[in-house]
Amino acid sequence: MNDMNTTIDLSALDHDRFKSWPNDQDYCVTCGLCSSDCPASGIDDFDPRKLVRMVGLGMKDEIIETRWSWVCTLCGKCQNVCPMGVQIPSMVRQIRSMRDRDATPGILHKGLETAIQSGNNLGLPREDFIFILEDVAEEIAEEPGFEGFKVPIDKQGAGLLTTIHNKLVNTHTEDLKHWWKIFHAAGEDWTVSSINWEGTNWGYFTGDDERMKIMTERIVEQMDRLEVKNLLWPE
């Protein structure tokens, strides 16, 4: 597919195959603005303009097989510059959803399976999660101006529930401090749930709408459980 010398028999393709997709791919005028603006252009020969054309031509097997839809970061820059309003990120998610779930790239597949089973992509037990949060809070409390700081876990009726990206309790705990210091300085009434705290929804990234919904509903359940009306979902 990436071989520029490959000859495609257009008459053998079903051009109407993806007509029902709501991404306006058939309006593409092949201007190339998306390719110029895309931060992933060139990785594994990825070219969003070509991907749009492949969808327009109905090249189903090729678009499922290619790594291109997984190279895309879903950042949306292409859509921002496209003069025809082609919704490439949405199109990419639909392409991802056509892959067999077992054939989604390893880290995403494993992370999603773990999240569905345990509530977070790391499989971190609740007590370990609480231990990490409290340890970070103790470090903050040692800093001038933050004496007595505590992390309000499972605070009933707080003004704001924030989700947590799994890397913040794994390799980037320093970043937690930035968030929490801002909350503290702003006098925010906030909380974090001790269960289903994961903000990263790999159901969304992998085009798995069913599991995306499960993970989203889990967050809403925590809002209901803690009677919190506002959500900060920094993903």
Chain residues binding ligand SF4 by CB under 6 A are: 28-34, 37-40, 48-49, 52, 72-78, 82-84, 86, 88-89
Contact (CB, 8 A) for 65 and 98: no
Contact (CB, 8 A) for 153 and 191: yes
Nearest-approach distance from CB 134 to ligand SF4, in angstroms: 38
Tokens of 22: 């709501």
Interstrand relation of 230-232 and 160-162 (parallel, antiparallel or unpaired): parallel
> Residue 49 or 99: which CB sits closer to ligand SF4?
49
- The CA-based angle 220-133-153, given to 5 degrees, is 45
Nearest-approach distance from CB 87 to ligand SF4, in angstroms: 9
> Residue 32 or 125: which CB sits closer to ligand SF4?
32
Rounded Cα gap, residues 225 and 227, in angstroms: 6
DSSP state of 43: G
Nearest-approach distance from CB 54 to ligand SF4, in angstroms: 12
Nearest-approach distance from CB 53 to ligand SF4, in angstroms: 8
Nearest-approach distance from CB 107 to ligand SF4, in angstroms: 18
Contact (CB, 8 A) for 235 and 200: yes
> Residue 47 or 198: which CB sits closer to ligand SF4?
47
> Residue 31 or 220: which CB sits closer to ligand SF4?
31
Contact (CB, 8 A) for 117 and 140: no
Q: Where are the beta strands (DSSP E) in the chain?
A: 160-162, 190-191, 230-232
> Residue 33 or 108: which CB sits closer to ligand SF4?
33
Total residues belonging to the chain: 235
> Residue 77 or 99: which CB sits closer to ligand SF4?
77
Nearest-approach distance from CB 61 to ligand SF4, in angstroms: 21
Rounded Cα gap, residues 226 and 170, in angstroms: 25
